[in-house]
Amino acid sequence: MATTAKTKAQKTAARAAVSKSKPAPKGAPQNAIDLLVADHREVDEYFTAYEELTSDSDKKALAQKICLALKVHTEIEEELFYPAARNKTGDDDLLDEAVVEHMGAKNLIAEIEAMQPGQPLYDAKVKVLGEQVRHHVEEEEEELFPEVRETNMDLDAIGAKLAARKIELIALLAPATTA
């Protein structure tokens, strides 16, 4: 579905309002939910910035950042957060849906990474990935995270594990830079 300028402005305003709830400053210990929400805001900013780009090289660079951020984020959720959340909430349906949404995102990421800006459907795939991710984020933040907060899950301990694993994955998955 095409997005009109008015709809785009409304969505941007809504996302900006949500992002005003600031997580802990960088470097400060974060609980798991704060860390995941910070990731959500970061990638949302990337998708918003992508919509304004015209240069193929700028699009490629930002698409690579988006893909890396999402690969790392989905991995830490699936490896550490979802199993703990599943154990504490027992909400298999919601977590199964989240895993399936991740699979869809991973497929689009692989397609985007195999393409170049300017190729047919490149921009459309990045846009659809953004729409899918925003839907997924909305469900996590409005349904899953409140359920998790009602449990006795140690969000600080899981947050520390997420942060450490995130650093490892970024080092492992980030493209090598040439000096």
Question: DSSP letters along 75-97, please?
Answer: HHIIIIIHHHHHHHH--HHHHHH
Distance CA 119, CA 15 (A): 29
Is the pLDDT higher at 20 or at 82? Answer: 82
Dihedral sign of CA atoms 92, 94, 109, 63 in order: negative
Distance CA 60, CA 113 (A): 9
**Residue 7 tokens, joined:** 């709809």
Distance CA 54, CA 129 (A): 18
What residue type is assigned to position 10 of the chain?
Answer: Q
Nearest to 129 by CA among 74, 55, 75, 54: 74
What residue type is assigned to position 72 of the chain?
Answer: V
Residue pLDDT, tens place only, 150-159: 999 999 999 9
Those residues whose C-beta lies under 8 Å from the C-beta of residue 92, and which sit 6 or more positions away, are 86
pLDDT at 27: 55
Mean pLDDT of 43-71: 97
- What residue segments make up the domains of the chain, in order of their start? 30-173
Q: Is the pLDDT of residue 23 over 90?
A: no
Distance CA 179, CA 177 (A): 7
Is the pLDDT higher at 8 or at 103? Answer: 103
Q: How many CB atoms lie within 10 A of CB 74?
A: 22
pLDDT at 129: 98
**Region class of 28: left (phi > 0), else alpha (psi between -120 and 50), else beta:** beta
The pLDDT confidence band at residue 6, using thresholds 50, 70 and 90, is very low
Looking at CATH, the fold of the domain delimited by 30-173 is given as: Four Helix Bundle (Hemerythrin (Met), subunit A) (1.20.120)
Nearest to 158 by CA among 89, 98, 80, 92: 80
Per-chain mean pLDDT for the chain: 87
The pLDDT confidence band at residue 11, using thresholds 50, 70 and 90, is very low
Residue pLDDT, tens place only, 58-104: 999 999 999 999 999 999 999 999 999 999 999 999 999 999 999 99
The pLDDT confidence band at residue 176, using thresholds 50, 70 and 90, is low
pTM equals 0.82
pLDDT at 170: 94
